[in-house]
Amino acid sequence: MESTRLNRYTLLCALLASTNSILLGYDIGIMSGAAILIRENLKISRLQEEILVGSLNVCSLIGSLAAGKTSDSIGRRYTIVLSATTFLFGAIFMSLAPSFLFILIGRIVAGIGVGYALMISPLYAAELSPAMTRGFLTSLPELFITIGILIGYIVNYALTDLPQNLGWRIMLAISALPAIGIGVGVIAMPESPRWLVIKGRDSEAKTVLLSLSTTPQEAELRLQEIITNKDASLSAHGPGNWHGQGVWKELFIRPTKPVKRMLISAIGINFFMQASGNDAVIYYSPEVFKAAGIHDKKKLFGVNVIMGLSKSSFVLLSALYLDKFGRRPLLLIGSFGMMVSLLGLGLGSKILDGSIKKPVWAVVVCIVAVCADVSFFSIGLGPITWVYSSEIFPMRLRAQGSSIAISVNRLVSGVVSMTFLSISRKITFGGIFFVLAGIMGVATGFFYVFMPETKGKTLEEMENLFVEDGDNDDKGVNKEVV
C-alpha cells in the first residue's frame, strides 16, 4: 500500500524538473511585450512578428518528437540537461541578434530546447511520483509555465521605459538564467526508477525508490510492481539493450484497441489545449487591448501582470486539488468555463470594434473575460494535459507516446500563434474569439466521451482504464503490457 504522504525528496526532484517549464512560460510572457519593441526597433512587418512569435512553438515540436527516443536512450535526467543547454544557446543568440533573421535562428534553437522540456518534465515527475500525489507533482510543470509567464510580464512592465534597442535584448537575455540554474540543479536529481528497470538496473532503481518513498516497505512494493508489470516484450532485447525501438510500429501500425484509445485521448487533449487559443491570447493580449482602446505601454503591460497573477493563482489551486477531486471534473469545468469566457470576450470585442467612442464597461468586460479564460485554462486544460500525457501510456510506450502527443501540442500552438493576428484582421478579434468558443464547446464533448478518471491509479494499472468489453478477444491485447 502506497503512502498518501508526500516524500520531501520526491517533491524536490519534481520541482527541479518542473523548473524546466519556466523557459516556455517566460518566453510567452516576455514576447507579449518584446514583440512590440522588436517590431518598432527593427522595423519588421506584422507577418514577421507572427513568424517570430510562432516559430518557437512550431520548432519545439522537433524537440518534443526527439525527446521520446532520446529519453529512452540516455535517460530522463540527461534529457533535462540537454533541454536546458539547448535553450541557453538559443536565448544568448536571440539577445545578441542584430537582425530579424538572427532572432529567428535563436528562437528556432530555443524552441527545440522548449520541446524537450515540455515532454520530459511531466514524464519525469510522473515516473517518480506515487499514485496518490502524482496529479499534484505532474501538474507542477504547468505551474512553472504560469510563473514564467508572470515573471515575463513583470520584466516587461519593469523594462518598458528602457531604450528600445536595449529593452528587448535584456528581456530575452534574462531567459538564460533559469536554463543555467536547471543545468546545475539536475546534479541533485536521481534517474527515473522506471527507466532504470527498463535498462535492467533493478538495484539502482531500488536505491532511488528508497529515497523517494516514505518507508522501505513502500519502496520494495513499488519496485516489485514495476518489475512485475514491465513489458514482457522487452525481454527479447535483453536487459539494458532496449532503446525505444519498435514503439512507433506498436503505436501506429499494429496498435491494440486500448493503445488506440490512449493515443486518441493523448493527442486529442493536446490538440484542444492549443486549439483553445490560450497561448495566442497571452502572446497577443497587448494587441487585443490596444484594439480595445488601451494604448499606453505601461497600462498594457500592467493588465498583463493582472492576467498573469490570475493565471498563476488558479493553476496552483488546480494542482493542490487534482488528487482530491480528480482530473475529469476539473477538466470539464475548466473547458466549459473557457467556452463561456471566450463568448464574453468575443461579445465585448465586437461591441468595441463597432464603437468609435470605446465604452468603459466593454473594456472591463474584455479584461475580465481574458482573465477568466486564462484562469479556467489553468484549472483544467493547462495542468491536466501534462498529467494525462505523461501517465496514460504503458511503460514501454510512455516516452515516445507522450512525445508524439506533445508534438501535436506544439504544432497546433505554432499554427495558432502564427495565424492569430492575420485571421483576426480578416474576421476581427470578436470573430476569432467566437470561433475559439466553438472549439472549446467541441473540446468539452470530446473530454466527456474519451477521458477516463485516472486519480489514485498507479502507472502500472493505467491500461485497464482503456480496456472495454470485447477487447480481450483481440489477439493483439497484452494485458501485461504496462
Q: What is the pLDDT of residues 394-450, one digit of tens each?
A: 877 888 888 899 999 988 988 887 788 788 888 888 898 999 999 999 999 999 999
Which pLDDT does position 478 carry in this prediction? 43
Residue 254 neighbours by CB distance under 10 Å: 10
Q: Across residues 258-281, what is the average pLDDT?
A: 90
User: Which of 12-21, 68-77, 169-178, 456-465 bottoms out in mean pLDDT, i.e. has the lowest?
Assistant: 456-465
Lookup result for grid cell 464597461:
361
What value, to the nearest 5°, has the Cα angle with vertex 138 and ends 10 and 404?
A: 130
Burial tier of 430 (Cβ tally within 10 Å: 0-12, 13-18, 19+): buried
Asked if residue 273 lies in contact with residue 388, where contact means CB atoms within 8 angstroms, the answer is: no
Q: What are the sequence ranges of the domains in the chain?
A: 8-473
The mean of the pLDDT values for the chain is: 82
232-241, 369-378, 461-470: which is most confident: 369-378
Q: Across residues 40-45, what is the average pLDDT?
A: 86
Residue 357 neighbours by CB distance under 10 Å: 6
Which pLDDT does position 189 carry in this prediction? 87
Which pLDDT does position 474 carry in this prediction? 47
**Fold of the domain built from segment(s) 8-473:** Growth Hormone; Chain: A; (1.20.1250)
User: Taking 60 as the threshold, does the pLDDT of residue 28 lie above it?
Assistant: yes
- Looking at per-residue pLDDT, the higher value among 230 and 86 belongs to 86
pTM for the full predicted model: 0.77
5-19, 56-70, 328-342, 452-466: which is most confident: 328-342
User: Taking 90 as the threshold, does the pLDDT of residue 275 lie above it?
Assistant: yes
What value, to the nearest 5°, has the Cα angle with vertex 129 and ends 125 and 133?
A: 110
Read off the pLDDT of residues 62-110 as tens digits, 9 standing for 90 and up: 988 888 889 888 898 899 889 889 989 998 988 898 888 999 999 899 8
Which pLDDT does position 473 carry in this prediction? 47
DSSP secondary structure code for residue 244 in this structure: S
Which residues, other chains included, contact 426 with Cβ-Cβ below 8 Å and sequence gap of 6+?
none
Tell me which residue of 245, 246, 89, 103 sits closest to 175, measured CA to CA. Answer: 89
User: Taking 90 as the threshold, does the pLDDT of residue 330 lie above it?
Assistant: yes
Q: Across residues 287-312, what is the average pLDDT?
A: 72
Q: Across residues 188-192, what is the average pLDDT?
A: 88
Which pLDDT does position 442 carry in this prediction? 97
